[in-house]
Amino acid sequence: MTDYIVNSHRVGAVGEKLKINKFITEKVLAYLLKAGFITEASQAPTKSAKTEPKQELTEE
Amino acid sequence: MATTTSTYLSNPDVLINSTVSLRDQCSAASLVRTVEALESTAFGDVSRYYVGGFESNELTLTLYMSYSTSETYHTLAALVGTQFDVIVSPSAPATAGTYSASNPGFKLEDCYLASLPVINATMGELSTIDITIQGGKYSVDES
């Protein structure tokens, strides 16, 4: 089962997993994804994700 | 003297798709349940008679417009031209989704938003929009 990460205070604590209850139907999930309120866990950045150092562009 | 009327100050709740509350952006809500009247008067009758036809419900909301993430515009933009659910209640339930006889949740299921004013700007005023949500199956949650 896919996990979803909350992006908006309107649907829960931001950054945490969406709590699935009887109201979270397929239709509701589709809406929340479309409106950007949640993202699939696999697509959301995690706290442990390492960031690559920025490469500065230099003109030669 | 009326002692059991309802005075609305800041209590009502508007819940989109059972998850997204627009309470903090809404300043007026009016849900009217209508059952279309089909005339059934026949010869011999001396009064007009009607029977119930389709339900044709309508919810109008006045909302402050905000384009910030998760606010009015982004919440509604994804609903235009789609079917969704909405619940309006006299007060926000203490526990999400839990309503009662004294705080019923008036629900429209699979209702429809045909149009959304994307900008309504007047100099010197807070921007508000009025939307009309049509149709849907009406029910009352008092459980």
Q: Is the pLDDT of residue A22 over 60?
A: yes
The percent of chain B in helix, strand and coil, each rounded to the nearest 5, is 5, 45, 50
Residue A10 pLDDT: 87
Other C-beta atoms closer than 10 Å to the C-beta of B61 total 22
Of A1 and B37, the structure prediction assigns the larger pLDDT to B37
Q: Is the pLDDT of residue B80 over 80?
A: yes
The pair phi, psi for residue A34, each rounded to 5°, is: -65, -40
- Chain B residues whose beta carbon lies within 8 Å of the beta carbon of residue A31: 17, 78-79, 82, 84
Mean pLDDT, chain B, integer = 91
For B13-141, CATH number?
A: 2.40.30
What percent of chain B clears pLDDT 70, i.e. is strictly above it? 93
Residue A58 pLDDT: 59
Q: Report the SS3 class of residue A39.
A: strand
Across A14-35, average pLDDT: 89
List the single best residue of B19, B23, B79, B95 to mutate versus A (max A Cβ within 10 A): B19
Write the DSSP string, B94-131: SSTT--BTTB-EEEEEEEEE----S----TTS--EEEE
List the single best residue of B70, B137, B143 to mutate versus A (max A Cβ within 10 A): B70
- Which amino acid makes up residue B89? S
| B77–A contact, CB cutoff 8 A | yes
Residue A15 pLDDT: 92
Kindly list the domain boundaries of chain A, sorted by start residue.
Answer: 4-40
A24 band by pLDDT with thresholds 50, 70 and 90: confident
- Give the range among A40-54, B23-37, B57-71, B94-108 with minimum mean pLDDT: A40-54
Across B23-47, average pLDDT: 95
Q: Is the pLDDT of residue A57 over 80?
A: no
Inter-chain CB proximity B77 and A22 less than 8 Å? no
Check: pTM over 0.90? Answer yes or no. no
Instruction: Indicate the pairing of strand B105-113 with strand B50-55.
Output: unpaired
Angle (CA) A17-A23-A29 rounded to 5° is: 55
